[in-house]
Structures are given as structure tokens and as C-alpha cells.
A and B are shown apart, each in its own frame.
Chain A
Amino acid sequence: MAAPQRLFDIRRVIGGLFLLYGLILTVTGLFDGAQEIQKAEGIRINLWTGIAMLVVGGAFLLWERLRPADAPASSDASSGDEE
């Protein structure tokens, strides 16, 4: 964590939420019965959406890990007082 006034990274929040949603949907999808699958035209939609959300969530976390918030070049903290 940097200086306290720096805003947290939204990529972590989206990544976390999508991993959680992905997990919930994937588990639900694994236990979907014939009725749920039939409703979605034979597609295991919970399972596939769950897996896709896991991938997207993971990608956000990976992105944040590989490229942490760009350090601002100019003096970030002083920008509030310039007027």
C-alpha cells in the first residue's frame, strides 16, 4: 500500500467480484438439472458463464499484478492545491 490518500485499484475489486460470481455460477452449473439446461436451449449456461467470469476475474487480477498502477510522473499530492 502506498500513501494513504491514493485510491485503491479498481482492477482488484472487479477481479475479486468476478472470481466470486464465477465460483458461485460454476458450482451452480455443475449441479444444474435437466430443467435448467433445457430452459437455456440445452446450453449449460451457468457453467459456461461461471467459467467465463472466472477467466475475466483472473485476468483482472493478473493485469493488476503484472502492471501495478502507473506511478504518476508529476507530483500527485500537490495537484489539489494548484488553483
Chain B
Amino acid sequence: MRNAIWNYKLMNETHPTPETLDREARAQLEALETIGLDNLKNRDRLKIPPQNMPAQEPGVRRLNTREVTLGYSDAQARVEALRCLQCRNAPCVAGCPVRIDIPRFIKACAAGDHDAAIAVIKENSLLPSVCGRVCPQEVQCQEHCTVGKSLKDIGLAVSIGRIERYVADHERETGKAQPPPVKPDTGKRVAVIGSGPAGITVAADVRREGHAVTMFEALHKPGGVMMYGIPEFRLPKDIVRFEIDNLRRMGVEVRPNFVVGRTRALHKLLEEDGYDAVFIGSGAGLPKFMNIPGENLVGVFSANEYLTRCNLMRAYDADRADTPVARGRHVAVLGGGNVAMDAARTAVRLGAESVALVYRRTRTEMPARVEEVEHAEEEGVEFHLLVNAQKIIGDEHGQVRAMECLKYELGEPDDSGRRRPVAIPGSEFTMAVDTVIVAIGNDSNPLLRQTTDGLDSNRWGNIVTDENGKTSLDRVFAGGDIVLGAATVILAMGEGRRAAQSINNMLKPI
């Protein structure tokens, strides 16, 4: 039987249905309204039950590619928003990379004024539907939430991200999401390289000021990592397409199949093609490998390749897609970040019999979002913690057959403050696998660096910028992963905002 099930308990555990959660939330809201929403004291608010996110049942979702979480209902969003204490010092805002006025949008949502709520978010963020889904809230805004602190559990903080997602989805689904107004044409032109979160942000912010914007994308579809990397089950592609279409409606020209540095040199954009400024947001995009024996065997993939085949090239749809993907029976994923979770959960959906996630620290140190780790576990991904791959072993055809691993224990804290994993001598063991996916991060892509004279980068290959996002080249700015190293959507967006501001200042008529 395909899809042997490893963890019956988790996989068959049923969760309350969306209908039940909504019914409960309505009852809770009604009860709170009898007290009077304006009369709620902090101790009343702390007693409001945290709203669970409705989700597809694990046993069901592991057989489809649809979005796992289903989103709050109106009542759920309002009840969750009512848990917010409206702290005057707003510690959550300090935790937000783009400083969204969180208490203000939550207050509007609690009052049922979702239009006002989304308007507040959009003062600072361009991609709330995306960030509400993929931001690591538990280490950003929600980490500092007073509710979580009072209840002595970060997991019980106000679910700021879920409320953000609700008001953003509500706006889009009710047809109210309009592209921002654009000022009259200034005659200035800006080239944006890359169409991921950083590029989208710059394109919108610069276009708003009336400058013409061309967004160049190397792949055939715009959206960057949101298209090729993050799977549909975590971020529906319709949302990404919607954001790109919004840019087009603002008058941004999108040029796919155009790799700046090769199709056209960067300096020619400025010197010959009439662009007044360039923003580089080309992303990380050069997968790291472990540098262990056997890593080039057939059946070893970077997570980028594995996910790109499935997401961008749609290999999960084997009947229609021309691009194949390895449908391994026994899959090992190396790494503990979001990309590792995405790869492991994709392998589950492609019908693997077992998926082992191999990580050399413990669950506490995993950089992945807590929700993704829980979802992966519910879907049957086995966690092999304090374990690292040493060697991949192949058969006579060069196809992966097994992986030799070593066990670790936690030692003294290292520079990052995390306890350093120390190998246990003699603890080698072998794991039978036919597919290995390496998800240990990305280095910066060398293409622009190689083809652009005078563009300074650091020893990791990341482009160096000043505090305004300006590079060593005149009129050239950069932001996102190409500057930060592999980070998050929201950080890339924050970087984009800053660079766009600098570009707009530079192009302002004197």
C-alpha cells in the first residue's frame, strides 16, 4: 500500500472543524458583547480562549497540495483580536521588522472594521496576505506580546499573524484590494532586478511616486521564492499572482526571462537604456551542500531543485507536467529550517513511505516556524534530532542507497548563544534511504557579482550596502537576501522599503 502511515496517533487525531471553531467563536463574541466590548478589563481579555487555526486534517492534507491552514472566520478573528491588551508601549511593534502599528490594526479588527484594519497594515506592509502566512511571528511580534508573557507561554500570545492574514484575505476576497494610487508620471525610470518580496516592494513604492518601473525576472514566472520555493500548501500561488497583477495594474512592466548581467549588463541599463536607478533584489539563490562524500550521487537534490521542480515546474502534477521529480520511497531531508520542512512535507505529498528529517541540534534550535514543525510532525515526518549525515552511499548505478549518520549531543553555547552540537565518537549508524534532500541554506548568487565591475560584496558574496540600501555603484541599490544572506520575506520587504525610500529621495525634483 502506498503511503504507509508511521504515526497513527498524530495523523488520526482529529481537530475541531472550521464550523465548530466558528460556532464557538460566535458564542464567545456574543458573551463578550453582553459585557460590552469597550468595558473589557485586562483580566477579562486574558481569559478569552486563544483561537485555534482551522486546518485540513493531517491524514487528508498529506494526499493533496491545497493550503493546510484554512484561516479564521470573522468571529474568530474578532475574538482573537479582543485578546489584545492594547499596551501603550506596544512591545509587539518593536518586534516587527517593518513596524506595523499592530495594536491599532487589531483594535479595528476587534471592532469588526476590517477595512480600517487592513489600511493600517498597508501603511507599512505591502504583502500582508503573504506575511500573515509565512512570517515567523513567534520570534518577531508575538515573542514580545504581553498576553503571552502574562500567560507564561509565547504560544498563547495574541495570534497577530493570523489576524493579519484574515483582514488581508477578507479585503482580497471581497474585491476591495485596489492597487495604491500612482502619482503623475515623472519621466524617471527605475529598473528592479528580481521579482521576489524585495523587488515587489521596491516596484510598488517607487511606482507610487510616479516613476516608471520595469521589474526583471530570470525565471518564466514572477514572484521569486514565493513562486519557486514556498509550496502551494503553505502559500497559495493565486495570492502571489494577485500581488504581481496589482503591480501591473499600477503600471509596472514585468519582464520575465531576463537575467540582468547576462541578457543585459547592469551598467548598460543605466548608461544606454535610460534607467535612472537600479535596485538589485535577486535573492540568495545558490544552494549550499554539505561537502560530504556521495553528495553528487543520483537521488541527492538541493531543496531548491526539489521544490522548484514541484512548485514552479508543477512536477507534482505528473500527468500534465513535462518536468519529472524523484518520487523517493525513503526520503531524508537535511536541515531544520522552513525550507527543510517544506521539502519534507512535499516528499510526504509525493507519496514517500518514510520521510526522515535529519537535524544536528534539537527541536528548540530549529529555525523553522513552530507551526510548520508541528504540521510536519502531524503529517508523519520523522524527526531525527542530534544527528548529522556523514556520507551518502550509492549502489553500482550511482543511485543513493543509504546514508551514514553520526549522533550528536549538545555542548557549550557557541557564538550564536545556541548550545554547540558535539559529535559522539563511535555513534555511526546507517539509514536506508533512496533520496536525500539538502536544505541547509543558500549562498549568494554569483551571477551579478561576476558580470558587474565595481559592485562590492563581502566575503560571503553578499552585496554591501550603506544604511540607505545604496551599493558601491552610483545609482545602484540592493536589498533582501542578496544583502542579508538567506532571511525571510518580511526582512526582504523591510529592506526594499528602505531602498525605495532612498531611490525616491534621489529622484525627487530639486
Whether chains A and B associate is no
Residues of B at the A interface (CB closer than 8 Å) are none
